[in-house]
Structure 1
Amino acid sequence: MEALIVFSFDEGVARIRAKAVVHAVFHELSKVEKHQYYRPNLREIISFRAYLAPFNKLVITKRKRRAMLAKYRGDAKFSNAFKPKRIYVDEIRLYSVDVADSNVEFGD
């Protein structure tokens, strides 16, 4: 995994519950990453996301950001050479998992 970004939980979520959910996310994303091969480039950026949905559902998605690069001509500004002309974003739901307190193991 290249980078991991964790957003905050609502104040109403207990600390121990938030910790259990984050550990469940680590576990699920590690399973997803084992089966994915990704070669980074300017045109396509792939990220995997985990959302905590109602009723203790953890939803794992694959987000693909595709960019159509503009052609760079010699008389154009070089600062515009790598800026995308158009950006497309697709997010696909891979699967969802029930996250119950008794099913999630975590250490201190």
Structure 2
Amino acid sequence: MVNILLCCNEGMSTSFLVKKMQEVADKNSLKVKIWAVSEPRVDTESEEADVVMLGPQIAFLEGKIQERLNNRVPVEAISAEDFGRINGAAVLKRALTLVKNHRAANA
């Protein structure tokens, strides 16, 4: 199971992306949990996350959020293009790649 946390200003714009990502995961029989929260909740909500993906509107906080999470999990901003197009497949693929690379680096 891979836990993917999406984070944006209010946690609402990412909810559409969560749905699309889950559809792609289900179609491909991938065991994932994907949920979205607002930025102030990322510290507590990330405790079970394997990766944190940020909405482009808060991409400028990537470094600060990475520090707040003590580099425990990868944190990366979603590309504005993928976010705008609600490209669940691309965002899911990127999130899974980040988790794989993080796990390999910490093995």
Q: TM-score, normalised by structure 1?
A: 0.28
Q: TM-score, normalised by structure 2?
A: 0.29
Q: Give the strand-richer structure, 1 or 2.
A: 1
Find the structure with the greater CA-based Rg: 1
Larger relative contact order (CA 8 Å, sep ≥ 6): 2
